Amino acid sequence: MAKPATAGWISLQNKRLLFLLLLVFSGSTALVLFIRGGLDSCDPRREGGRVAPAASDRVQLQPPAARVQKSPLGFMRSKLVLLVSHELSLSGGPLLLMELAFLLRNVGSQVAWITNQKSEDANEVTYSLEHKMLNRGVQVFSAKGQEAIDTALKADLVVLNTAVAGKWLDGVLKEHVSQVLPKILWWIHEMRGHYFKLEYVKHLPFVTGAMIDSYTTAEYWKNRTHERLKIQMPQIYVVHLGNSRELMEVAEDNIARRVLREHIRESLGVRSDDLLFAIINSVSRGKGQDLFLHSFYESLQLIQEQKLQVPSMHAVVVGSDMNAQTKFETELRDFVSKKGIQDHVHFVNKTLTVAPYLAAIDVLVQNSQARGECFGRITIEAMAFQLPVLGTAAGGTTEIVVNGSTGLLHPVGKEGVTPLAKNIVKLATHVERRLTMGRKGYERVRKRFMEHHMEERIASVLKEVLWKSKSNSRS
């Protein structure tokens, strides 16, 4: 009797493998329709293209009623929600808002989407994302027309995504702004100086709540709005992000992981027992690839000096974009050739699919500088793949990585170069410690950073915001 079940299992596995391999081998935008992504940056516009492979458009097996009851967002059924995005692209901010749109659609909310800043080259990506939303029953319409104004006035809830989306309020709503403000939840994912402009955020004190990705970012916003702009933040809700179900599916599938690992290692020309330390972020100074390579070089020297026995070590820099960051990238490559470590450093172009790389590497390095990441979704994605994280002690990273348990933290800046080098050596020489850290990271993700955790956290925020906005409009 076991036979049919086994056969079924195998064909299911094959289908999934086929799907995963398709993702790996194909870079076509058609695939964008099947891909969902996440946030890994404080600045959604400078985010690396990095999206998890997903089979999110597969047939929903659960009947809607059961889904509604099970979801913590069930109370949003038949509520009208307007989502205001500053742009529609594959960067972190818009993709996260799309995830929210689909969570709400799953429980039967009416969801409308407007994009305030249509890029002048409204391209294939924009169209396929819009198409994907329309397919899931999200209404998409112009940010500037009467329909947007009417929907804002009718809506139970309006979510503004990113600080920049604030421009839409005066620009479009005009004399209706004050009517809409009590219904607004403002979702903020950025932590850079140029966002603290009154032009963007002057209405912030009057909306019902601000939802922010980490405590560090929330503190920063409180401080900056107060000190620089002399305005008060509204009620702040910190909501950590979660890993999508699709990413977890790949991360927890041993066969898929192995196939992806072999494939990527082959493409990089490294052996199966070599040690790979990877940094996965769009290449730019703020993400600290330069300092990482300095640390990596230093770690190779330490290993040589101390005659340590370790496998061949490699640094992988995923997120390269020579056209966008020519000067910085040239600097990185010059460093590598000056030090003669070309055989140990691999640059990989920006990619939509990070899962294969997470499957292929041994350690994730999160080296974002200055205030660090707002949250840094790649960190929890790596932990889902049981990878230890070597991260800067800044920003959201400190709220995700438990120093000494799920990874090791080092200071930002030049002071961090030697500590990171030593941490690289530690993980290279202590195999058991490395694997234990990876497992602990995975357990932490299962406990705190899953999609359903994010859904629960968002649900409690929406509940409170709805309640407050109702009592405001009554009084």
Ligand X SMILES: *[C@@H]1O[C@H](CO)[C@@H](O)[C@H](O)[C@H]1NC(C)=O
Site string for ligand X, 333-352 (x = CB under 6 A): ----------------x---
Closest approach of ligand X to the CB of residue 407, in Å: 9
Residue 305 binds ligand X (CB under 6 A): no
The amino acid sitting at 102 is F
Q: Which is nearer to ligand X, 310 or 348 (CB)?
A: 348
Task: Give the range of 75-83, 201-209, 219-227, 433-441 binding ligand X by CB under 6 A.
Answer: 219-227
Residue 403 binds ligand X (CB under 6 A): yes
Residue 323 binds ligand X (CB under 6 A): yes
Task: Give the range of 35-43, 401-409, 453-461, 463-471 binding ligand X by CB under 6 A.
Answer: 401-409
Q: Which helix (H) or strand (E) holds 410?
A: strand 407-410
How far is Cα 296 from Cα 289, in angstroms, rounded to an integer? 10
How far is Cα 283 from Cα 324, in angstroms, rounded to an integer? 9
Task: Give the range of 11-19, 46-54, 220-228, 451-459 binding ligand X by CB under 6 A.
Answer: 220-228
How far is Cα 300 from Cα 296, in angstroms, rounded to an integer? 6
Q: Which two tokens stand for residue 313?
A: 């070590």
Q: Which residues are CB-neighbours of 75 under 8 A, at least 6 positions away?
A: 459, 463
Burial 132-150 (b: 16+ CB within 10 A, else e): bbeeeebebeebeeeebee
Closest approach of ligand X to the CB of residue 320, in Å: 7
Residue 227 binds ligand X (CB under 6 A): yes
**Number of residues forming the site for ligand X (CB under 6 A):** 10
Q: Which two tokens stand for residue 155?
A: 């809506």
Q: Which is nearer to ligand X, 208 or 392 (CB)?
A: 392
Q: Which is nearer to ligand X, 310 or 402 (CB)?
A: 402
Q: Which is nearer to ligand X, 78 or 349 (CB)?
A: 349
Residue 236 binds ligand X (CB under 6 A): no
Closest approach of ligand X to the CB of residue 56, in Å: 26
Task: Give the range of 2-10, 189-197, 199-207, 402-410 binding ligand X by CB under 6 A.
Answer: 402-410
Closest approach of ligand X to the CB of residue 264, in Å: 13
Q: Which is nearer to ligand X, 55 or 393 (CB)?
A: 393
How far is Cα 370 from Cα 421, in angstroms, rounded to an integer? 19
Task: Give the range of 6-14, 208-216, 223-231, 355-363 binding ligand X by CB under 6 A.
Answer: 223-231
Closest approach of ligand X to the CB of residue 270, in Å: 16
Residue 223 binds ligand X (CB under 6 A): yes
- Closest C-alpha to 104, from 151, 147, 66, 71: 71
How far is Cα 207 from Cα 157, in angstroms, rounded to an integer? 11
Q: Which is nearer to ligand X, 74 or 419 (CB)?
A: 419
CB 250 within 8 A of CB 257: yes
- Closest C-alpha to 295, from 281, 308, 283, 277: 277
The amino acid sitting at 25 is F
When binding is defined by CB under 6 A, the residue of 15, 70, 154, 226 that contacts ligand X is: 226
When binding is defined by CB under 6 A, the residue of 31, 140, 302, 322 that contacts ligand X is: 322
Residue 430 binds ligand X (CB under 6 A): no
C-alpha count within 13 angstroms, C-beta hemisphere, residue 203: 26
- Closest C-alpha to 180, from 114, 97, 89: 114
SS3 306: coil
How far is Cα 433 from Cα 108, in angstroms, rounded to an integer? 46
Closest approach of ligand X to the CB of residue 49, in Å: 12
When binding is defined by CB under 6 A, the residue of 409, 425, 428, 450 that contacts ligand X is: 409
Closest approach of ligand X to the CB of residue 218, in Å: 12
Q: Which is nearer to ligand X, 45 or 222 (CB)?
A: 222
Closest approach of ligand X to the CB of residue 393, in Å: 4
In 54-201, alpha helices (H): 64-70, 92-106, 124-135, 146-154, 167-168, 177-180, 198-201
CB 408 within 8 A of CB 326: no
Closest approach of ligand X to the CB of residue 408, in Å: 6
Q: Which is nearer to ligand X, 394 or 461 (CB)?
A: 394
When binding is defined by CB under 6 A, the residue of 125, 370, 393, 435 that contacts ligand X is: 393
Residue 228 binds ligand X (CB under 6 A): no
C-alpha count within 13 angstroms, C-beta hemisphere, residue 218: 17
Task: Give the range of 12-20, 74-82, 403-411, 430-438 binding ligand X by CB under 6 A.
Answer: 403-411
Closest approach of ligand X to the CB of residue 129, in Å: 23
Q: What one-character-per-residue DSSP string does 9-32 give? A: HHHHHHHHHHHHHHHHH---GGGG
Contacts to ligand X by CB under 6 A: 223, 226-227, 322-323, 349, 393, 403-404, 409
